[in-house]
Structure 1
């Protein structure tokens, strides 16, 4: 009897899952396996918000498999060792898994391939499981990847995206393969109070609700901080409870400017993955060095702490940082503003900010987080590396009534009008009554320092 193993990684779903479909079509019995990789813990990526969301996802995946006659096998340890143990216990002939772009994932895949080949077991790695278009599928002349988004997007848009697959009706798992208990969100300490629920069923409900109406206004409202008019699907894309292939197809079927703008964001996600696949060191090193001499963490300690706590004295920056701490998520416009403020106004190394985001973001991953931080810091793929986002100007544009600031900065909830974005302009008696700090830096001073540092 032929037996296969499907290794789930960042693709925790049953709908549109090419490795699972291939395993079920090619063998009689299949072991759905997830390994809690200790290397992820050792690298500092196993943080409370993502562990809690992961627990939701694994429980939902197991429930979906049990509805189909199967179950999820969970192991913990070195991923290669655990896969090989399961292969031996099940007497499996082959292993299926999704490809991934990070340096860690690429090294892990190669180790696993060698270990399985030594046992006479074949490893099948499937593309377009965590992306709509595979890294390397479109490349410019003379290079192994696109370094600028716009030409990449033109080519990406012309690519034929494979059809989405349905969920399996039946999954048969061999006896005798043991599993560790499923993790529970209740066992995780230190999670954000407003952290959203995870799992494929939750993701599919959110997607359906999004496509039924809100997506139509996405092009006009995606930067509306107070309106919170984005999809909130990024955690589900990060953990793979939703398929980017399915999202592209369903958004295109919905049609309209809003859906087109949403598809463009999915292309940005693929863009960063093709950059990282070609340049794995971009997860920690400058993609395009600007010869910065960043302020040291010791030198900028007080400024960094004020930024992390949401006490910079710039209300929109503080609102976004407090949203991050409360929800484990942040509006994309807020991510741009807070990153620009740290890297350019405070002139602090982008890696310090990226690490803080990874400590809290439920959707935090190497490709999106690190390369977006580099884009803002001007060391990545931005074609205008010296642009600086003015938090006051941006706040007035994208939070004109101050609703976002008042929601997250309770000290300013009673400040009326646009003055909420510049509380230092209030009359002295009103300003003195607020338990809110003065700006930690004058914006003109920060801009001058940055321009001097970049030789401008």
Structure 2
């Protein structure tokens, strides 16, 4: 069969709508081979995300088949498998959505070298953020280190046009598409399902609440946030499309999308964000306590709002954003433990746990990152009383405290001794040398 062929290597862009790499390739080439390579090096990182990923792949294959195409599945090294497939189908080009992690940068560098060696044209496309990392830079710098000036500039950037899903995708004759992996068990029983249809449905259902976002997004018991973050992490929905639906670029929800872009441009410039302190001269006088770390991980610290957040994460593969701030602040600023193991715990359980935002937000809370007030500390009791004033969030996730009425649920250590003995709930962890103000 005559005509031109391209391979589109899919990574964290598992959708058809507003997919620049796929849409442009379908417009420019006669045949397009969408490829996903299951990399064994990533397979064991997070059972929750592996399950979500496999659900996304199954949905994407169905959607491509409806348009006359298919999703080609390979296993192994993404670079080697892409080059091998390009040779099999006689492709002349490879398309890829640009990404910022150290893993992604290494993949891109190797892919570029191999494409040059095999005389393939490699083109990178936007699509993982609203505004591409590096599209705006401060005078005399390679990236913005503070969010507020970045947000001001970000709001005024001319955005690319949102692209429709391709109407037809045609594969070369005889290509072996490969089998989808069996759906694995996730660790969180109540995790959201993966796939573009779920993402688009979630966005449509949530948008009517946008006008109330500033009032509801910190209501922990109300649980009315968008819950789009897993779908953004896997590219089941375009962040640009979400921003366009939200409208007003100064809207508090759009500001959260900008925070996501902010950490992508930080990570592009500082790929060690998961392992090294971003802020020069940051104090890293951490202590190390395996028992305290295990108690925090398992939601049995004796601090109800912290335990509730950690248990929600284990049950759903997701955690309310306010709870993320509180739990991370408790680990680093109260227990005095290193933020890096915290990054790893979140990365294991969270469906949305990507390198840029997970690590960037952890460093912000720990005082090693982009926070202009690195020594700030969140009092977990005050946070609980402000954002879970009725205690319903805590009672939902810490059933041992279900019988405790009102705000007392946030400070069960103040209950009479006979009441405490009936709760089967631990006393707060003791921190050597610490005298927490809320315990007095």
CA distance in 1, matches of 2:79, 2:33: 16
Contact kept in structure 2, 1:345 and 1:446, CA below 8 Å:
no
CA distance in 2, matches of 1:311, 1:424: 14
Correspondence list, 1:231-242, <5 A: 231-242=226-237
CA distance in 2, matches of 1:428, 1:385: 38
Correspondence list, 1:41-120, <5 A: 41=43, 45=45, 47-120=46-119
Question: Does residue 220 of structure 2 align to residue 222 of structure 1?
Answer: no
The residue aligned with 1:454 is none
Question: Does residue 294 of structure 2 align to residue 295 of structure 1?
Answer: no
Contact kept in structure 1, 2:249 and 2:255, CA below 8 Å:
no
Which one of 300, 306, 309 corresponds to residue 311 of structure 1?
A: 300
CA distance in 1, matches of 2:104, 2:249: 36
CA deviation after TM superposition for structure 1 residue 89, in Å: 0.8
Residues 1:243 and 1:256: Cα distance change in structure 2 (over 3 Å): closer
CA distance in 2, matches of 1:261, 1:36: 37
Residues 1:447 and 1:149: Cα distance change in structure 2 (over 3 Å): farther
CA distance in 2, matches of 1:333, 1:200: 26
CA deviation after TM superposition for structure 1 residue 268, in Å: 0.3
The residue aligned with 2:145 is 147
CA distance in 1, matches of 2:319, 2:52: 16
CA distance in 2, matches of 1:84, 1:122: 11
Contact kept in structure 1, 2:101 and 2:268, CA below 8 Å:
yes
Residues 1:397 and 1:390: Cα distance change in structure 2 (over 3 Å): same
CA distance in 2, matches of 1:290, 1:17: 39
Contact kept in structure 1, 2:274 and 2:343, CA below 8 Å:
no
Correspondence list, 1:395-434, <5 A: 395-434=384-423
The residue aligned with 1:276 is 267
Contact kept in structure 2, 1:276 and 1:283, CA below 8 Å:
no
Which one of 181, 199, 204 corresponds to residue 200 of structure 2?
A: 204
Tell me the alpha carbon deviations over residues 190-231 of structure 1, each in whole angstroms, 9 at most, x when there is no partner. 4211111110000000000111x2222111111110001110
TM-score normalised by length of structure 1 = 0.93
Tell me the alpha carbon deviations over residues 434-456 of structure 1, each in whole angstroms, 9 at most, x when there is no partner. 100011137992669xxxxxxxx
Correspondence list, 1:35-46, <5 A: 35-41=37-43, 45=45
Residues 1:446 and 1:379: Cα distance change in structure 2 (over 3 Å): farther
Residues 1:444 and 1:330: Cα distance change in structure 2 (over 3 Å): farther
Contact kept in structure 2, 1:423 and 1:431, CA below 8 Å:
yes
Which one of 253, 258, 261 corresponds to residue 262 of structure 1?
A: 253
CA distance in 2, matches of 1:277, 1:394: 33
TM-align CA RMSD: 1.5
Residues 1:141 and 1:446: Cα distance change in structure 2 (over 3 Å): farther
Which residues of structure 2 form unaligned runs of 5+? Answer: none
CA distance in 2, matches of 1:427, 1:216: 44
Contact kept in structure 1, 2:343 and 2:362, CA below 8 Å:
yes
CA distance in 1, matches of 2:148, 2:214: 17
Moved more, 422-431 or 235-244: 422-431
| SS class of match (1:96) | strand
CA deviation after TM superposition for structure 1 residue 62, in Å: 0.5
Tell me the alpha carbon deviations over residues 267-316 of structure 1, each in whole angstroms, 9 at most, x when there is no partner. 000000000001111221100142322112xxx11111110111111100
- Aligned residue-pair number: 434
Residues 1:90 and 1:291: Cα distance change in structure 2 (over 3 Å): same
Residues 1:200 and 1:446: Cα distance change in structure 2 (over 3 Å): farther
